[in-house]
């Protein structure tokens, strides 16, 4: 069963459905793809041969690039021949820190390594435990493992998709050093209770804000609430540079060390060509480049307005679909003052759709011209954990009983997350840059599938 992707212009769509509603039958030759025309065509799901609700090529493209406004500084950098870290990277760091209200920012190669460095420079190493939600991208957990520390999974609140603060304390041991909340999907985690728990147990808080550019909790930008915040500028992210990342913090000593670590352990502020400064600590090289910074500065100019649009469209779309039985949109915590909406998530309950499986719901929705996916699979049960525990380093760092994968799995069960991974449906952030009619088209596509769920179910059984 392959969803057909019919390319319809908006005008064709309107024309076809107006004609169809008048009972006028078009000949197959007058349309892009022959399909059964009748008065029910507009209501008939595309996967069953009806007209699709929208056209996949109508969604805002990503990333956005305007040569007229965006290329001046990029070209200046290219023509200057100064490509390694210099003034433009510093300018980018100042701007990003200012946009967030953070004291300091260090731009690095990517979001993954921003997390690696932050953990590393807070001295989170062998034997230390880091509390982390399982509903996240693999990079969050691999950053913990690459420092030799132990990820301890805290189950999620399925209503918000975020780490459940009420489940954190039960996971704290004498080895716990940090909480690593992830503002997953660009929706802020519940930072007040998280910070209170951290304070009580003297734990560090490192925020994974890789999907949450300009999101706010109680008017504070996420990434600036804990001890450090980490960002990604990978191409799919709300601030796209191809690759890139940043650490932000108000802690000068920590930020100086992060700089040194990312630059061979040379003292803070050492230029790229510095030789003979001496390395004061063990470091590596994770530097950002001038042309990345120039692209980033261009992208940053539209980020605030885009974030506003995403918030408006997300709220609107949520209002349109929240009463469809079986569709349970995300919930924001009371203190959230702005989302980033890297993704628009809802939970899908097949019971509301006559038992139509999520996979077939997704195929039907894709056939309507609405790109969608099922999101993450359970990160606390994948083979990379066993593989790490069997590595030479881990065997030297931990007693055997701590590396027993069965015991580990038993301790790290996250039933709410297991369920969430079975139920989630996502739309990507560029969809939320569309118009109100785009949001209406999504809602009507879902309604159409809802009304015809039994027929689609029969089709998918064949």
Ligand X SMILES: *Cc1c(COP(=O)(O)O)cnc(C)c1O
- Site for ligand X, rule CB under 6 A: 110-112, 136-137, 139-140, 182, 208, 210-211, 232, 234, 245
Q: For residues 340 and 372, which CB has a smaller minimum distance to ligand X in the complex? A: 340
Q: What is the DSSP letter of 131?
A: E
Residue 115, CA distances (Å) to 78, 234, 264, 351 in order: 29, 14, 18, 40
Shortest separation between residue 244's beta carbon and ligand X, angstroms: 7
Nearer to ligand X, 242 or 278 (CB): 242
Return d(Cα 429, Cα 341) in angstroms, integer.
Answer: 6
Nearer of residues 234 and 260 to ligand X, judged by Cβ: 234
Task: Give the C-alpha separation, 163 to 167, whole Å.
Answer: 8
Closest CB 191 distance from ligand X, rounded Å: 16
Rg (CA), the chain: 24
Q: Mind telling me the catalytic residues?
A: 237
Task: Provide the token pair at 99.
Answer: 């946009």
The least CB distance from residue 185 to ligand X, in Å, is: 9
Nearer Cβ to ligand X (133/369):
133
Q: C-beta of 449: minimal distance to ligand X in Å? A: 29
Containing 89, the helix (H) or strand (E) segment is helix 87-100
Q: Which is nearer to ligand X, 245 or 434 (CB)?
A: 245
Distance between CA atoms of residues 386 and 388, nearest Å: 5
- 3-class SS letters over 169-234: HHHCCCCEEEECCECHHHCCCCHHHHHHHHHHCCCEEEEECCCCCCCEECCEECCCCCCEEEEECE
Q: Minimal CA–CA distance to 88: which of 292, 266, 230, 246?
A: 292
Distance of alpha carbon 348 from the chain centroid: 19
**Which residues are registered as beta bridge partners of 247?**
106, 230
- For residue 285, the minimal CB distance to ligand X (Å) is 16
Q: Rounded to the nearest 10 degrees, what angle do helices 290-321 and 67-80 cross at?
A: 150
State the residue number with the nearest CB to ligand X.
Answer: 111
Residue with Cβ nearer ligand X (45 or 181): 181
């Amino acid at each position: 069963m392959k969803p057909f992707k019919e390319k319809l212009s908006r005008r064709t769509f309107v024309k076809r459905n107006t004609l169809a509603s008048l009972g006028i039958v078009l000949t197959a030759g007058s349309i892009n793809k022959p399909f059964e025309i009748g008065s029910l065509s507009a209501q008939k799901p595309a996967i069953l041969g009806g007209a699709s609700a929208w056209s996949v090529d109508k969604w805002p493209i990503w990333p956005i690039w305007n040569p007229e406004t965006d290329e001046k500084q990029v070209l200046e950098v290219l023509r200057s021949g100064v490509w390694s870290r210099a003034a433009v990277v510093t300018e980018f760091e100042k701007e990003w820190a200012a946009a967030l209200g953070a004291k300091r920012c260090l731009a690095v190669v990517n979001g993954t390594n921003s997390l690696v460095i932050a953990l590393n420079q807070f001295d989170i190493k062998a034997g230390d435990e880091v509390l982390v939600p399982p509903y996240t991208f693999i990079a969050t957990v691999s950053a913990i493992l690459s420092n030799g520390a132990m990820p301890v999974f805290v189950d999620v609140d399925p209503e918000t998709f975020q780490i459940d603060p009420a489940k954190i304390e039960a996971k704290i041991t004498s080895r716990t050093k940090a909480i690593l909340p992830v503002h997953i999907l660009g929706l802020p985690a519940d930072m007040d209770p998280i910070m209170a728990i951290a304070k009580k147990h003297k734990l560090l808080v490192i925020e994974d804000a890789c999907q949450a550019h300009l999101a706010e909790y109680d008017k504070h930008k996420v990434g600036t609430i804990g001890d450090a915040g980490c960002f990604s500028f990978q191409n799919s992210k709300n601030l796209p540079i191809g690759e890139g990342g940043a650490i932000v913090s108000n802690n000068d000593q920590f930020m100086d060390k992060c700089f040194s670590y990312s630059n061979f352990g040379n003292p803070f502020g050492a230029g790229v060509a510095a030789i003979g400064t001496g390395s004061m600590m063990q470091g590596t090289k994770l530097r950002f480049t001038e042309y990345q910074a120039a692209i980033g500065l261009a992208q940053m100019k539209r980020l605030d307005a885009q974030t506003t649009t995403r918030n408006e469209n997300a709220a609107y779309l949520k209002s349109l679909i929240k009463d469809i039985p079986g569709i349970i949109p995300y919930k924001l915590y009371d203190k959230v003052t702005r989302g980033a909406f890297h993704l628009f998530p809802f939970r899908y309950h097949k019971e509301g759709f006559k038992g139509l499986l999520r996979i077939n719901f997704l195929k039907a929705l894709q056939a309507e011209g609405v790109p969608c996916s099922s999101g993450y699979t359970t990160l606390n049960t994948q083979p990379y954990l066993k593989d790490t525990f069997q590595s030479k380093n881990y065997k030297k760092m931990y007693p055997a009983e701590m590396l027993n994968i069965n015991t580990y799995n038993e301790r790290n069960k996250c039933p709410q997350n297991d369920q969430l991974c079975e139920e989630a449906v996502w739309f990507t952030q560029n969809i939320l840059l569309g118009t109100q009619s785009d949001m209406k088209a999504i809602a009507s596509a879902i309604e159409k599938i809802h009304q015809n769920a039994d027929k689609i179910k029969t089709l998918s059984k064949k």
